[in-house]
């Protein structure tokens, strides 16, 4: 597995009710992404999920 470095700039504010909100800018991205709450911020920091290609299974008749 190859790991690529990523750089983020996070503008973070705490609201009067002790929540966090702000903007996340990814290096190279044209626009920042708004977030509200720690969970949402953490989800934005995760790399995008990739969908694996389905594995084609050969029937036992095709293997012979």
Q: What is the pLDDT of residues 10-61, one digit of tens each?
A: 999 999 999 999 999 988 889 999 999 999 999 999 876 766 666 666 655 5
53 lies in some domain: no
62 lies in some domain: no
Question: What residues make up the domain containing 14?
Answer: 1-45
**pLDDT value at residue 29:** 87
What is the side-by-side strand order in the sheet with 8-14?
8-14, 20-26, 33-36
Number of domains in the chain: 1
**pLDDT value at residue 64:** 55
32 lies in some domain: yes
**pLDDT value at residue 46:** 85
25 lies in some domain: yes
b/e code 15-43 from CB counts within 10 Å (16+ = b): eeeeeeeeebeeeeeeeeeebeeeeebee
**Residue 33 · residue 23 · CB < 8 Å:** yes
User: What pTM does this model have?
Assistant: 0.64
Whether residue 2 has pLDDT greater than 80? no
Q: Which residue has the higher pLDDT, 42 or 2?
A: 42
15 lies in some domain: yes
């Amino acid at each position: 597995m190859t790991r690529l470095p990523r750089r983020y700039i996070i503008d973070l504010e705490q609201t009067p009710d002790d929540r966090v909100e702000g903007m996340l800018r990814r290096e190279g991205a044209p626009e920042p992404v708004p977030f509200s709450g720690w969970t949402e911020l953490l989800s934005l920091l995760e790399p995008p999920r990739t969908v694996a290609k389905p594995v084609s299974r050969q029937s036992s008749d095709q293997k012979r």
